[in-house]
Amino acid sequence: MSYNILVTGGAGYLGSTMVPDLLQLGHKITVLDSFMYKQSSLNHVCHHPNFSVVKGDIRIESVMAPLIKKADVVIPLAALVGAPMCSQDPVGATTVNHDAIMLMLRLLSKQQMVLMPTTNSAYGTGDQNNFCTEDSPLNPISLYAKEKVGIEKELMQRENAISFRLATVFGMSPRMRIDLLVNDFTYRAVYDRFVVLFESSFKRNYVHVRDVSRVFQHAIADFDKMKGQIYNVGLSDANVSKRELCEHIQKQVPDFVFLDAPVGKDPDQRNYIVSNAKIETTGFKPMYSLDAGIRDLIKGYTMIKNTRYGNV
């Protein structure tokens, strides 16, 4: 079945991977994005007759209202993502991550479907076993995690909504983010050959950006069975510590060196093992392993290097 789908932030890291996939399935896609990073990540789909794009701000009702009115499905990806960015601009974080989503929920009808990414960083440090399911208590520490928890609570008042608590995403994307942990460590391995770790025993879960796209496709196809629920989304065999992640990278970059030092602290204090059993019972299984993603990143970094203020 084909839907009219509104994707806010559709030119971002997740959206620029997801939008082409949804177009290929026959959906009509409208992307609303501010293009604050001057990205051209959707150039390759401009030829598609079912693709349209609007440059605008999700916080402005006169922009959002007509777009939402035409949509069967809304996928709100637009956000200031991550604890550091939200700490740097707390006012922007609140207006984008909270107020704009509340506006969206107010504009939606009961019939319209919403599939929203949230975050499993809201678990903070887990229970005594650091094991977390969707029913585990939430312990958001950063502003980013707190805003996501608040919005998820409002979202789940709707019958026609799904929340995906995404693990830390990794992998190559048309709108690349090198700051995500796997992407960052692999970049350092390729170009610096070393990284200094803090809280190296802290575990977290990971998921490939292409599997994030796949889980949204899966939910659209099986919406009636999955609606009204929260799902963790990650690789069940990739609940690994920072040190273990470095060991995975070292297998493919043998001269990569990693050292422990008491030099930093995770703002979300993410240290947990996440269960993805609930999403797997719906028939969804990730396709892209941690090692495969690292391999692809190494290829990608052959083409990408941050040299804006350097001569080499």
Q: Tell me the domain boundaries of the chain.
A: 4-171+206-235+275-287
The answer to whether 119 touches 168, Cβ cutoff 8 Å, is no
Would you mind telling me the total number of residues written for the chain in this entry?
312
Which residues pair with residue 285 across a beta bridge? Answer: none
pLDDT recorded at residue 169: 97
Q: Residue ranges of the alpha helices (H) in the chain? A: 15-24, 61-69, 83-88, 90-94, 100-107, 143-155, 181-191, 209-221, 223-226, 242-252, 277-280, 290-301
CA-atom Rg of the chain in angstroms:
19
How big is the CA angle at 11 (ends 8 and 13), to the nearest 5 degrees? 105
In CATH, the number for domain 4-171+206-235+275-287 is 3.40.50.720
Rounded Cα–Cα distance for residues 128 and 206 (Å): 21
What burial class does residue 224 get, using C-beta atoms within 10 Å of its C-beta: 0-12 exposed, 13-18 middle, 19+ buried?
A: exposed
Looking up tokens 């043998």 gives 254
The answer to whether 236 touches 271, Cβ cutoff 8 Å, is no
Looking at this protein, which amino acid is placed at residue 147? E
DSSP summary character for residue 138: P
The tens place of each residue's pLDDT in the chain, 312 residues long, gives 899 999 999 999 999 999 999 999 999 999 999 999 999 999 999 999 999 999 999 999 999 999 999 999 999 999 888 778 888 888 988 898 899 999 999 999 999 999 999 888 788 765 556 889 999 888 887 777 888 888 999 999 999 999 999 999 999 999 999 999 999 999 999 999 999 998 899 999 999 999 999 999 999 999 999 999 999 999 999 999 999 999 999 999 999 999 998 877 776 677 889 999 999 999 999 999 999 999 999 999 999 988 777 766
Nearest partner of 173 among 62, 296, 77, judged by Cα: 296
Rounded Cα–Cα distance for residues 306 and 164 (Å): 31
Rounded Cα–Cα distance for residues 167 and 71 (Å): 27
pTM for the whole thing? Answer: 0.94
Query: How far, CA to CA in Å, does 34 sit from each of 28, 65, 112?
Result: 20, 16, 23
How big is the CA angle at 80 (ends 163 and 24), to the nearest 5 degrees? 60
DSSP summary character for residue 307: -
Burial 151-163 (b: 16+ CB within 10 A, else e): bbeebeebebbbb
pLDDT recorded at residue 160: 96
